[in-house]
Homo-oligomer: A and B are copies of this chain.
Amino acid sequence: MTGTANLLVSCPDRRGIVAALAQLLYGQGANILDSDQHTDSGAGAFFQRIRFDLAELHVDRAGLERAIGEVADRMEMTWRVAYSDVIKRVAIFVSKHDHCLWDLLLRNRSGEHACEIPLIVSNHPDVKPIADQFGIDFEVFPITKDTKAEQETRELALLEKHDIDLVVLARYMQILSGGFVGRFHGTIINIHHSFLPAFVGGRPYHQAYERGVKLIGATAHYATADLDEGPIIEQDVARASHSDAPEDLIRKGRDLERMVLSRAVRWHLEDRVLVYGNKTVVFA
């Protein structure tokens, strides 16, 4: 077997976890390439990411996962294995602002983001030419209060049809229902154009301008039923000053949004992010 795999584990903290997992993988012929670990002593929780080489594995993947499962049961672990040759499939949701869409498509094309992007969804037709140029299916679902539920049902069907693993809200100016989010728990990444928890809700750059802050920010987080309240994956800021009009903040913000969202997406694609409670562990 070729390639590598990532084992992601979270469980109650206890003696011997590290040894047990290392021993287990060693016993299966899996060579550990990298290992990151975090213990939240407050929460009594243990987290680990182990990247290992499959080249000399003694067993097949099913066998490996059976062996992991046995240890996991013994230690009450939540776990998953991600194989480097299983490419994640990403759907991008976008409204009219196309800067994050362009950024994600170009990073994918350049090989920086290892994923397939078979689908772009929007509530407006504006970005269709971009989708066409990259040869990606593009579907428009105009949203009104009345049509929302029905449209979300169609969107979910489409995501299933395209076998989507990750939904990226790349400046998608619609609020998804709790039902929709629930179906993709921990696999919808949203970019919010402020340094959360400051300036939740709409027009954050105008809120920032009104407050006279000296830094503006952007936040990438997993979408949850509570808008702007989901687990934060990445944040960054840029300097602002009295000479920045709202449109200057918006311009600076576009670069922030691109950078922050693209880092969060890459870390997710590389299985570096573990969610617990309303927080993330990011083994960057």
Contact = CB atoms under 8 A, between A and B. Distances in A.
A79 interface: no
A240 B156 CA distance: 35
A213 B242 contact: no
A197 B37 CA distance: 33
Contacts of A32: 17-19
Q: Which secondary structure dominates where chain A touches chain B?
A: mixed
Interface stretch (A22-30, A57-65, A81-89): A22-30
A186 B281 CA distance: 33
A284 to B, nearest CB: 8
A44 interface: no
A23 B21 CA distance: 10
Given A112-B251, A212-B231, A241 B282 contact: yes
| Copies of this protein, total | 4
A242 B112 contact: no
B236 A215 contact: yes
A11 interface: no
Interface in A192-220: 195-199, 211-215, 217
Contacts of A255: 259
Contact of A22 (B18, B34, B281): B18
Interface of A: 15-19, 22-23, 25-26, 31-42, 47, 56, 99, 102, 106, 110, 112, 133, 195-199, 211-215, 217, 231-237, 241-243, 245, 251, 254-255, 259, 278-282
Q: Which 10 A-B pairs have the closest CB atoms?
A: A212-B279, A19-B26, A19-B22, A198-B198, A242-B281, A22-B22, A214-B235, A18-B32, A18-B22, A15-B31
